[in-house]
Structure 1
Amino acid sequence: MSSHQETADRLPSATPHSGMGFREFVAIVACLMAVNALAIDAMLPALPQISEALSIAQENQRQFIITAYLLGFGVAQIFYGPISDRYGRRRVLLFGLGVYALAGTAAAAASNLDQMLAARVLQGVGSAATRVLAVSIVRDCYSGRHMARVMSIAFIMFIAVPVIAPSFGQAIVLVAPWEWIFLALGLFGFLLAGWIWLRLPETLPPESRTPIVLSSVVAAFRIVATNRACLGYTLAAAAVLGCLFGFINSAQQLFVEVFDTGQSFPLYFAAIALFMALSSFVNSRIVERLGMRLVSHTAIIAFTAIACLHAAVALSGHESLLSFMVLQSMMMFCFGLIMSNFSAMAMDPVGAVAGTAASFQGFVTTVGGALLGFYIGQHYDGTATPVVLGYAVLGALAILIVFVTEGGRLFHAVNAPTGARAHSATE
């Protein structure tokens, strides 16, 4: 191997441990990005067994198990960024994975709903470290096109896990009790922590660390919260994410109870998730040419129109597995075009406080989306109507937020200079 090839396959020389190859680094980042999706989707097929074991009286209460995790995951994100800037990435990440692994074991040992919810909140708190620090670690080691290469490869795992996780959970409950799903999650967290402890160096050197100064943190959050584009697109993203969480909360009930798919539920769930993966690929191919606003604004309008059509079908009593799959898949395709662009447009004007902005965005979108999705899920009544009506309402709300954010004009940046008007349409 030439010296040039060897260098290209290793982390930058500034990294304390130069023995880790590029492929191993990407594999670790990909596994970190898989942690959250596994914790949400793997246990969906086991919800009836969990409900019976924990003596959950009302079927809709089983959705608490999903929402508790999402709330812990959302709230904790706001703290990990500043803490890792002060104390380094490695030890904070190991702490988060340790909490995640122990919480998985606690969830498996839960004997009632309260114990399960406490374990799931803690599991979300631990998982939040992987969400925040995966991107931070990549940014510490790479920049520009090299960073884009790492993230694009790792993002394949982020897309693939929601497709395969329910089948993973279904496979476990076919041969073992539901507790083994949470034990498997705990084991995954433990093994990943061991891998990182042995192989991943600290990527933030001591001289680059910043103290936690309350006044500076508050000032940074004030900048983010008062920026029109950042706040507007973050709130719009929360509304759209509420649709996804509403679907996840109700998915097992919809497919098994309404459409009678039985043990095939993970396959139908995976088929819908594939359309979101496809749209992420399509977005990567068209967004530079068409622009974030044109793509995302068109997608949110299409999402809402399809949701209204879906609501009309459900209200008319003509909902079927085929109609649900087709319309849901179309909406998930639009979802993939919306979220990445909304996130990018929220971050774009606040680059000077990007870490704080990312924490703020993760907190608002996850907590807001979790609460909206929980509200939708709690209205499940044995039909698809509450879910699809929730899509339509939240889609319309997202359009309204974007409309106000952009000063009453879609597809163009608000307050774009006259000479840059043509360019703004592509932003």
Structure 2
Amino acid sequence: MSKSSIPVEFLLLMATMMCLTALFVDSMLPALHQIGSDLDALDNNRYQMVLTSIMVGLGVGQLFYGPIADAFGRKPAVYLGLALMLVGTAISTFAQSFEAMLFGRVLQGVGAAGPRVMVVTIIRDQYSGAEMARVLSLVMTIFIFSPVVAPLVGQVVLLFAGWRAIFGLLGVICLALLAWFAMRQVETLKPEHQRPLSLKPVMQGMKEVVSHRVALAYILVAGLSHSSIIAFLTSVQGIMQGIYDAGAMFPVYFAIIALGVGFSSFINSRLVYRFEIRTLVTRVLMFLGTLSLIEAALVTSGVVEVSLAGFIMMMTVSTFCLGLLFGNINALAMEPFGHMAGIASGVIGASTMLIGVLVGGAVGMSFNGTIIPLLLGFGLTSVTSVALILFGTPKQVTKAAAVKD
């Protein structure tokens, strides 16, 4: 089947919804130490919880939006999520304690889960297979501008108005997205796919997802891959500032590294029509795992001393590999669940995020003044993912086999 035309505004809207979480995470990167200092949370790397707390909320929240979306529609789920984000943002903006800050951040994450789940759900409502992977890759290509731009925006706001003003700007962005989505996005839930909002069908739907052997393997792989990016996010400021003394240039260096994801996501939108998706994912993971473990061994042994430029190059290659994974793994995990995309997207998204937070957060908290824990995190999660795919999933023919529902 030939590639179909995808509306540009649809891609932009889906990418903006996907960007919300990244904006709420990455714009705070330059402010982490200042927040930790102002709210007495610099000890034991506790300031990193400003990032992981929103991800915990995101993971838990995704369990609920699928059933809501399958019962009432995709648009009401997005409205609910954006409303919760605005409330959480107000709490964090005026927080006088670190605990209040974390509560607001968790609520932001619960809210952000709505748009996040609905992006995958709305796309799955309209596309499947390689075509879905292509759409997700194009969305990710646009999405990459958020981690490139967000730290720069956060740094500028920080210079003139302090970290609380960053939250104010994020609130304005939420309101603008709410208006755009309400006016321009149509409801995509098909009447025959509507499911009642009661405990029994919800539990049945969740059970169907987690009991699907192949889907479960890809959920674990998605979670481990996501843990790499969380480990990177929670470690990168400490590495850049603590080891390399990047100063005000940190957002620029971060943007360079983040471009690796955007470039690979753009390439991936074409690769999925040339290679079988499972094979592509496996080979990328093999490369990332092998490279990261070799780098870790060389640094640990003292054979190589990594400069700032070397670290940026290493991380750019790693993020390039990660950009080839996210959309493809999601497409593989979602493939069996076209009849219940909302619940499936929520369960898969929640599981992916929670695994990512647990594993990636542990890697981030193990930061010891070197880049070794981060490299080992990349390597071990990638090798484990390869084993899960090879032994837990059958070979699938998904290249250029898209069928629109």
Q: Tell me if 1:380 matches 2:367.
A: yes
Alignment-mate amino acid for residue 346 of structure 2: S
Cα displacement (A) at 1:33: 2.0
User: Does structure 1 conserve the Cα–Cα contact (< 8 Å) formed by 2:141 and 2:265?
Assistant: no
Q: Does 1:191 align with 2:171?
A: no
Cα distance in 2 for partners of 1:94, 1:169 equals 26
Residues 294 and 426 in structure 1, CA contact (< 8 A), matched pair in contact too: no
The C-alpha deviation readout for 1:54-75, integer Å capped at 9, x for no partner, is 0114151011111110010111
Pair 1:106-2:91 in alignment: yes
**Matching of residue 328 in structure 1 with residue 289 in structure 2:** no
Structure 2 distance, partners of 1:25, 1:365, is 25
**Per-residue Cα deviation, 1:281-309 (whole angstroms, up to 9, x for no partner):** 22222222221122111100000011112
TM superposition shift of 1:200:
4.9
The change in CA–CA distance for 1:272 and 1:356 in structure 2 (over 3 A counts) is same
**Using the alignment, how far apart are the partners of 1:150 and 1:302 within structure 2?**
25
Whether 2:326 is the aligned partner of 1:339: answer yes
CA drift at 1:215: 2.5
Q: Does the 8 Å CA contact 1:313/1:319 hold for their aligned counterparts?
A: no
SS at match of 2:368: coil
Q: Which moved more, 1:61-70 or 1:89-98?
A: 89-98
Pick from 389, 401, 404 the counterpart of residue 402 of structure 1: 389
Contact 1:293/1:425 (8 A) holds in 2: no
Secondary structure at 2:272 match in 1: helix
Q: Which amino acid aligns with 1:361?
A: I
Structure 2: which 5+ residue stretches go unaligned? none
Report SS of the residue matched to 2:274: helix
Q: Hey, what's the Cα distance between the residues in 2 that align with 1:188 and 1:221?
A: 33
Q: CA deviation at 1:206?
A: 7.3
Give the corresponding residue for 2:379: 392
- Residues 313 and 175 of structure 1: CA distance in aligned 2, closer, same or farther (over 3 Å): farther
* Distance 1:213-1:404 versus aligned 2 partners, 3 A rule: same
Q: Which of residues 352, 363, 366 in structure 1 aligns to 2:353?
A: 366
1:248 corresponds, among 233, 258, 276, to: 233
Task: Tell me, in whole angstroms, the C-alpha distance in 2 between the residues paired with 1:75 and 1:124.
Answer: 8
Q: Which moved more, 1:98-107 or 1:203-212?
A: 203-212
Which runs of 5 or more structure 1 residues have no equivalent in the other structure?
A: 1-8, 12-21, 407-412, 417-422
**1:239 and 2:224 are equivalent in the alignment:** yes
Could you tell which deviates more after superposition, 304-313 or 344-353?
344-353
**Distance 1:381-1:117 versus aligned 2 partners, 3 A rule:** same
Cα distance change of structure 1 residues 173 and 219 upon mapping to structure 2, 3 Å threshold = same
How many pairs does the alignment contain?
394
User: Quick one: which of 225, 233, 237 aligns to 2:210?
Assistant: 225
Cα distance change, pair 147–337 in 1 and its aligned pair in 2 (3 A)? closer
CA distance 1:340–1:91, change in 2 (3 Å): closer
For 1:207 and 1:296, locate their aligned partners in 2 and report how far apart those are by CA, in whole Å: 33
Pick the aligned partner of 1:89 from 55, 74, 83.
Answer: 74
2:29 is the counterpart of 1:44: yes
Paired residues for 1:18-29 under 5 Å: 26-29=11-14
Write out aligned runs for 1:284-299 (5 A).
284-299=269-284
1:292-335 alpha-carbon deviations (Å, 9 max, x no partner)? 12211110000001111221233134122122122222121111
Deviation at 1:209, TM superposition (A): 3.8
> Is the 2:120–2:345 Cα contact (8 Å) retained in structure 1?
no
Q: TM-score, normalised by structure 2?
A: 0.89
1:271 and 2:227 matched:
no
The equivalent residue for 2:285 is: 300
Aligned residue among 294, 306, 315 for 1:309? 294
| Structure-2 change in CA distance of 1:118 and 1:91 (3 Å) | same
Which of the two has higher C-alpha Rg? Answer: 1
Task: Please say if residues 102 and 186 of structure 1, whose CA atoms lie closer than 8 Å, have aligned partners that are also in contact.
Answer: no
Q: CA deviation at 1:244?
A: 0.9
List aligned pairs for 1:50-199, cutoff 5 A: 50-58=35-43, 60-137=45-122, 154-197=139-182
Give the AA of the match of 1:116: M
- Per mean C-alpha deviation after superposition, the further-off stretch among 105-114 and 313-322 is 313-322
Provide the C-alpha distance between the structure 2 equivalents of 1:298 and 1:173, rounded to a whole number of angstroms.
41
